[in-house]
Amino acid sequence: MTYVRACGLSELEEDTPKRVELDGTPVSVVHTEGEVFAIHDICSHANVSLSEGEVEDCQIECWLHGSAFDLRTGKPSGLPATRPVPVYPVKIEGGSVLVDVHASLTQES
């Protein structure tokens, strides 16, 4: 696995997505429910940044059409999105949030 630094843990506000670009991949990093998640920042339904949406119940909502994606699996919980978005492995080291955008945890169902 190839982890790269996304941001400092102290830079994350609870339930507030932070957009970063890692190796050319747009990623939304979210600290919620005591964990840190990394999810592809572009909605699978429309070319919209998920980091501009709200986080609730371990889901991030696309502000444009209201689809919400599970931060653990990337799966949408409702229409209009029908396809998941990639989620990426995260680890915390020395106060830094590290993400591997080359190892998606998302599984198509």
- Going along the chain from its start, the domains and CATH numbers come out as 4-99 (2.102.10.10)
Burial category of 14 from C-beta neighbours within 10 Å (exposed 0-12, middle 13-18, buried 19 and up) = exposed
Encoded tokens for 3: 């982890």
What's the DSSP call for residue 53?
A: S
Task: Provide the 3-class DSSP secondary structure of residue 22.
Answer: strand
Question: Tell me: the pLDDT tens digits for 34-85?
Answer: 999 999 999 999 889 999 999 999 999 999 998 999 999 999 998 899 999 9
The pTM of this model reads 0.92
Cα–Cα dist 1/57, whole Å: 28
pLDDT digits (tens, 9 = 90+) for 45-54: 988 999 999 9
Task: Write down the residue that tokens 């609730």 correspond to.
Answer: 56
Residue 106 has pLDDT above 90, yes or no: no
CA distance 37 to 69: 12
